[in-house]
Structure 1
Amino acid sequence: MKQREYYFDNAKFLLIFFVVFGHFIQSFIKESNSIYALYKVIYTFHMPAFILISGFFAKGIYQQGYIQKYAKKLILPYIIFQLIYSVFYYFLYGKSTFNVEPLNPHWSLWFLISLFFWNMMLLLFAKIKPVFGLVIALLLGLSVGFVDWTTSYLSLTRTFVFFPLFLIGFYMKKEHFIWIRTKKARLTAITTFIIVFIGFYHAPSINYQWLFGSKSYSSLAEDPFQAIFIRLFFYVLSCMMIYCFFACVPNKQYFFTKLGKNTLYVYLLHGFIVRIFRVSDMTDLVNPPKSFILIIAVSFLLTLLLSSSMITSLAQPIIELKITKLQQLQKKWSNLFQGYKAKLFE
């Protein structure tokens, strides 16, 4: 791995950590205003930055076999985990009937179906001049708020709301990420994070559901035309916070750097643990913000575990329908065993 690639792997690992952490602290946003403010700060950038970086790595859209590759990478896991989550929720919540709704993504699975649509939309938007493409994408993102039936159906609302960020990422070059990796930019970013946190802390009435990008204007109880400006505000805020996040991402190699390429595994698997946590008595044992360090530690350790070679090797047959990681792990353990055996009988 070349050093310049450490940056993006670090970014992806840190983002998936914030996804896990954000899902854990959601259980406590009504108990602490500081947790609630932090929760909203995280949601201003963690998925938006993930979406932007996904667009950045979608530049091979016209390569032969690209569409088939992404369909297999995203649609198959979506179908598999849609079924798995249906079974999981049936037993977890003791539902009286078992339903599988393939067109209404369960919880975090929206990202898979939206990511597929974003790549398909690039086939058209990549041929349009960037300025026109971004204007059209922004108008679509603002307009979809007037439609109610798209909020859950195939994640269409999120697809259109977040597409401008994906498109910005597609238009970006590596030089743009290099330009923001300065000491001055980092200090500005940290200051901005603090200011936004203070703003959310002193304005708890700000509806966090705006940050989900999945709600229609009517469901947010806002005047539709006033809501357009509110969504525009959150677009600007997210872009600013994305900049701040990437300005703070380290460029060096760390013990977690190589795990940044396994974010899909963490994304798909952590939901089972978070959901069990939310319905269990464990939430009563955690007393935020006093237990804040514990929540951070558990989120970080879970991110490390779910992105480890052991878990990804066992999960790959379900997520990617491959066994290459499992074969590599078996070969590694076999070599270790043979080496230990050879030393033992020397």
Structure 2
Amino acid sequence: MAGQAAQAITGGGKARESYFDNVKYLTIVLVVCGHAWEPLTYGSRAVTALYLTVYAFHMPAFALVSGYMSRSFDMSPRRLKRLVTGVVVPYVVFEVAYTLFYKVVQDDWKYPFSLLDPWYLMWFLLALFVWRITTPLWLAIRQPVLVSLVIATAVSMSPDTGGDMALQRVLQFLPFFVVGLVLRPEHFERVRTWRMRVVALPVGLAAVVAAYWVAPRFDAGWFYHRGSVVGRDGMTAWDGLWATPALFLLALVLTACFLAWVPGRKFWFTALGAGTIYAYLLHGFVIKTARWDGWYKHEWLHTPLGEVAVTLAGIALITVLCTNPVRRVFRFVVEPRMEWAFRPTEPKKRPEPAAGRDRERVTVAGG
């Protein structure tokens, strides 16, 4: 079984892509389920337990996978272009779109517009820009994970680190991105053995049971990382010295459990993993409409059967938003080519092989 896991991660390119596409799809499913469950947490301890469990690791997992996919970012013109077209432009477009959406639906035309104060989902794109642009630095220094965790801890202890650019979130989630940068295929191989999968089951179950136990008195805001620990549940700044590393370790353990059970072979949803950025950017319009239009006021939705229906509806929504027809419609704003804005870049020439040596085949990972 360990050999099969190794083949799925370190073997052929198709097997490797299938695993990470599965990871991306299942992670975005957790994201939308968390958003769909939030209105149900006020009346259901069971839903709250699932909500807390998912929020303990789903965005850390998203950041970790983003870091792993960014390992080859080297500030070259080609990758800087992809950063602008794939992160900066969608951020600007959807930040404007979400702000206008709020103004129209809520009839609040005085609501301020600011690219430095990301609305709702948009903080992650801003964070991804900051993380990726600093990737060469993290790959160059010693102990990057430790350094990033020290930064996150320091920020969590400082209530003066303001809301501009969602800096609290950007820096408190930074260690997970850096962990992704330093991971290698063999690390995923070790996580995906059957021994680790067997261990992951009781660990995951224990997390749900613990979440159910603390649900009535635990503030889910701990997992949002929107602000400092100061004043949260009576905490002082010094409590950040243990709270932030503890949440970091909890998220890593649960992320490892999640990654252990992600299948490596191709499924019907595997191809959808390539469209998760579309689902992430678009699903917020539906989620917010459901909240603002009172969809959750129907009492039936707050029954066990209704909660299952909300979950299935969320999964169906995110699945549709990952499909090729949706990607074709919105590609011009999510992944614009923008050839007109950039100078053409010449492909790198392969160096001539040294005399007396065999020519080596060179492969370069995308990023």
TM-score, structure 2 normalization = 0.84
1:188 matches 2:178: no
1:25 matches 2:37: yes
Residue 168 (structure 1) aligns with: 179
Once the two structures are TM-superposed, the CA of residue 48 in structure 1 deviates from its matched residue by 0.5
Is the Cα–Cα contact under 8 Å of residues 85 and 336 in structure 2 kept in the other structure? Answer: no
Q: What are the superposed Cα offsets for residues 189-227 of structure 1, whole Å, 9 maximum, x if unpaired?
A: 121111011111111222211111221122524111123
Q: How does 1:275-314 map to 2 (within 5 A)?
A: 275-285=288-298, 286-314=301-329
Give distance in 2, aligned partners of 1:244 and 1:82. Answer: 33
Residue 37 (structure 1) aligns with: 49
Is the Cα–Cα contact under 8 Å of residues 37 and 311 in structure 2 kept in the other structure? Answer: no
Is the Cα–Cα contact under 8 Å of residues 71 and 135 in structure 2 kept in the other structure? Answer: no
Q: How does 1:155-234 map to 2 (within 5 A)?
A: 155-204=166-215, 205-220=217-232, 221-234=234-247
Once the two structures are TM-superposed, the CA of residue 23 in structure 1 deviates from its matched residue by 0.3
Q: What are the superposed Cα offsets for residues 23-81 of structure 1, whole Å, 9 maximum, x if unpaired?
A: 00011111111111110100111110110011111111226222332132111111111
Name stretches of at least 5 consecutive residues in structure 2 with no aligned partner: 1-12, 339-367
Once the two structures are TM-superposed, the CA of residue 12 in structure 1 deviates from its matched residue by 0.3
Is the Cα–Cα contact under 8 Å of residues 87 and 98 in structure 1 kept in the other structure? Answer: no
Structure 1 residue matching 2:285: 3-state secondary structure? helix
Task: Name the CA shift for 1:106/1:174 in 2 (closer, same or farther; >3 Å).
Answer: same
Residue 118 (structure 2) aligns with: 105
Task: Name the CA shift for 1:313/1:322 in 2 (closer, same or farther; >3 Å).
Answer: farther
1:88 matches 2:108: no
Q: How does 1:320-331 map to 2 (within 5 A)?
A: 320-322=335-337
Give distance in 1, aligned partners of 2:214 and 2:245. Answer: 18
Give distance in 1, aligned partners of 2:214 and 2:139. Answer: 39
Kindly tell me the number of residue pairs found equivalent between the two proteins: 322
Residue 331 (structure 1) aligns with: none
Once the two structures are TM-superposed, the CA of residue 96 in structure 1 deviates from its matched residue by 4.3
Give distance in 1, aligned partners of 2:95 and 2:35. Answer: 19
Residue 149 (structure 2) aligns with: 138
Residue 131 (structure 2) aligns with: 118
Write the letter of the residue equivalent to 2:31. Answer: V
Once the two structures are TM-superposed, the CA of residue 98 in structure 1 deviates from its matched residue by 4.4
Q: What are the superposed Cα offsets for residues 123-156 of structure 1, whole Å, 9 maximum, x if unpaired?
A: 2121112x2x222111100011233354531021
Is the Cα–Cα contact under 8 Å of residues 23 and 273 in structure 2 kept in the other structure? Answer: yes
Write the letter of the residue equivalent to 1:140. Answer: I
Give distance in 2, aligned partners of 1:63 and 1:89. Answer: 36
Task: Name the CA shift for 1:85/1:198 in 2 (closer, same or farther; >3 Å).
Answer: same
Give distance in 2, aligned partners of 1:78 and 1:95. Answer: 22
Give distance in 1, aligned partners of 2:195 and 2:259. Answer: 13
Write the letter of the residue equivalent to 1:153. Answer: D
Is the Cα–Cα contact under 8 Å of residues 152 and 174 in structure 2 kept in the other structure? Answer: yes
TM-score, structure 1 normalization = 0.89
Once the two structures are TM-superposed, the CA of residue 292 in structure 1 deviates from its matched residue by 2.6
Give distance in 2, aligned partners of 1:242 and 1:229. Answer: 20
Is the Cα–Cα contact under 8 Å of residues 180 and 246 in structure 1 kept in the other structure? Answer: yes
Write the letter of the residue equivalent to 2:125. Answer: L
Residue 22 (structure 2) aligns with: 10
1:153 to 148, 154, 164: 164
Give distance in 2, aligned partners of 1:104 and 1:75. Answer: 14
Is the Cα–Cα contact under 8 Å of residues 151 and 216 in structure 1 kept in the other structure? Answer: no
Once the two structures are TM-superposed, the CA of residue 297 in structure 1 deviates from its matched residue by 1.2
Give distance in 1, aligned partners of 2:71 and 2:23. Answer: 19
1:55 to 34, 42, 67: 67
Write the letter of the residue equivalent to 1:172. Answer: L
Structure 2 residue matching 1:2: 3-state secondary structure? helix
Once the two structures are TM-superposed, the CA of residue 87 in structure 1 deviates from its matched residue by 0.5
Is the Cα–Cα contact under 8 Å of residues 65 and 177 in structure 2 kept in the other structure? Answer: yes
Is the Cα–Cα contact under 8 Å of residues 44 and 238 in structure 1 kept in the other structure? Answer: yes
Residue 330 (structure 2) aligns with: 315
Structure 2 residue matching 1:290: 3-state secondary structure? helix
Give distance in 2, aligned partners of 1:189 and 1:227. Answer: 28
- Structure 1 stretch displaced more, 194-203 or 220-229: 220-229
Task: Name the CA shift for 1:290/1:312 in 2 (closer, same or farther; >3 Å).
Answer: same
Q: Percent identity?
A: 27
Name stretches of at least 5 consecutive residues in structure 1 with no aligned partner: 324-346
Structure 2 residue matching 1:143: 3-state secondary structure? helix
Task: Name the CA shift for 1:322/1:120 in 2 (closer, same or farther; >3 Å).
Answer: closer
Residue 337 (structure 1) aligns with: none
Give distance in 2, aligned partners of 1:219 and 1:269. Answer: 34
Once the two structures are TM-superposed, the CA of residue 94 in structure 1 deviates from its matched residue by 1.8
Residue 249 (structure 2) aligns with: 236
Give distance in 2, aligned partners of 1:138 and 1:98. Answer: 35
Write the letter of the residue equivalent to 1:207. Answer: D
